[in-house]
Chain A
Amino acid sequence: MEAKPSSNLSSKFVDQVVVPGDVILDLSSMANQTIKLGGGLRQDGDSISVMKAGTLRFTKPNKYWVESSHKRYVPCAGDNVLGVVVDTKPENFLVDIRGPALAFLPVLAFEGGTRRNIPKFEVGTLLYVRVVNANTGMNPELSCMDASGKAAEYGVLKEGYMFESSTGLSRMLLSSPPYPVLEALGKKLSFEIAVGINGCFWVNASQSSTVILVGNAIQKSESLSMVQQKIYLEKLLKSIQ
């Protein structure tokens, strides 16, 4: 049987579940085409194979990646994450971002940061930071400024509470259109939330009971279907009135 020359690049595995070792594309049958590989894929000679279990995604014109939800975060430049200060050194703060290694936050990586005004962070301070550099074999580097050098929303998160979940839930919370649970909770309650792509989210409200309620509701909603979420929230919001 002759292989049909495919006009589009999409593999038959797109939106399917893939496991390590699956070969999704054979490069020998495609000439003069460019494809871009995202996380969870690797090139092995003439074939593109999977190295992480998850769902294969594809966007036009040529991007492929594997989407999955994990408890451990793999740092990637440009991600906004939540981290806890573990140690302070003269040049850097050591921050735990739930990755394979502690991240460095240079003491000068703040808006208008000079040697004179170094912020004082105690061990255990919660920060909302941006990953600037994430190379293999090196500790990731963080920053409390956006690309233009402004403080933006980055910095210390005072009060409130940090909840831990999976990277998949974080992505859902950050997705657009907004996560329905978050929307429904926001209509009834007033609270503040910060979501890190590393599977952490921080909630703050005037009452600590609200913080607990919102945190639990979000954590529980991960395993519920849309309909179940609706029922669960209706019940929950009725019970607090």
Chain B
Amino acid sequence: MEYVNPEGLRLDGRRPMEMRQLRAEIGAVSGADGSAMFEMGNTKVIAAVYGPREVQHRSQMVNDKALIRCEYTMANFSTGDRTRKPKGDRRSTEISLVIRQTMEACILTHLMPRSQIDIFVQVLQADGGKRKILISHSKHLICYASQLLFTFFSGTRSACINAATLALADAGIPMRDLVTSCSSGYLNSTPLLDLNYVEDSAGGPDVTMDAKLPMDIFENVMQLATEGCKAVANYIREVRNLILVLFQAIRFEKVAIVWFLLMENQVCGERCRRRDVINHLPSYLLFGLNFRRFRAVTVGV
């Protein structure tokens, strides 16, 4: 199968170095201490954070640091075939573990001893998948590079980690840094950034898998994933930025800016109405703007 056509475009029309569209929203779950919704292309994930709170089971309490718990679930309607998925199957247990370990490395757990932080991640929409996505036994890589913690995962897992980071930032939990995640792979002798479902299930080497890949190409692919992570981190920064800028604007009566933002929203075909946004601002902070427009708006402010 041809994953990159002679013109250098991928199956979904992206270039090899191009990411899928990112979209994020914070405060998506009103009952949680922090929550976020994160979209990467057709993958849509919601994350909710509760805590730090008292440890529920005394036996699990850690005396010198916080206990981090993570639960990953996939909604029944998230994939093409609507099947009842048993809770706690191997796949979701593995992903829960991966998210938990990643976040444990990032949260300053020693500041909140004898407490518990719960992270709930739910996949609302998994990219196109009609079959179960095959997950190989992966070694997850965490490297400290240029002040940011990067992790490399494929498909939905990237979106899950990004959503969890944003939710933790919203909850105000002390963190070393923002963890961001992005996948990259190597198909048709081209390094590809941010694989979609079809590319992911093509069986090519993926930085999370231990398939055979020459060292120099691996470095290229790794470099690409790193760049992708940086892009995601920038985006997350801007989501936080924009929301706070909005609040400041409101406080200083710079209403014009708010309108400008909303106009942009409409240009992008947002579904929320202007009146709704004005009335319920915090719950409707939807920014369906793509990356470039987003930039333009922040510069305008």
Contacts and interface: CB of A to CB of B under 8 A. Distances in A.
A226 B253 contact: yes
A167 B249 CA distance: 19
A51 B176 contact: yes
Given A21-B148, A51-B176, A72-B172, A100 B240 contact: no
Interface string B251-283: 101010010000000000000000000101110
Contacts of A74: 172
Nearest to B165: A20
Given A52-B169, A227-B255, 11 more contacts: A19-B240, A21-B148, A21-B175, A42-B108, A42-B174, A52-B175, A68-B172, A71-B171, A136-B112, A137-B64, A228-B278
A225 B257 CA distance: 12
Given A70-B171, A71-B33, A223 B280 contact: yes
B244 A54 contact: yes
B177 A53 contact: no
Contacts, number: 96
Interface of A: 17, 19-21, 23, 40, 42, 51-55, 68, 70-72, 74, 100-102, 136-137, 222-228
Contacts of B33: 70-72
28 contacts: A17-B244, A17-B245, A20-B169, A20-B177, A21-B147, A21-B148, A23-B147, A51-B108, A51-B174, A52-B172, A53-B170, A53-B240, A55-B248, A68-B172, A70-B34, A70-B172, A71-B32, A71-B171, A72-B33, A100-B112, A100-B115, A137-B63, A225-B249, A225-B250, A225-B255, A225-B258, A226-B251, A226-B253
Nearest to A40: B174
B51 A100 contact: yes
Chain A interface main SS type? loop
Residue among A51, A54, A227 having the largest count of chain B Cβ atoms under 10 Å: A51
Contacts of B249: 225
A17 B114 contact: no
A19 B253 contact: no
A93 to B, nearest CB: 17
B115 to A, nearest CB: 5
B11 to A, nearest CB: 34
Contacts of A228: 250, 278
Contacts of B255: 225, 227
A20 B172 contact: no
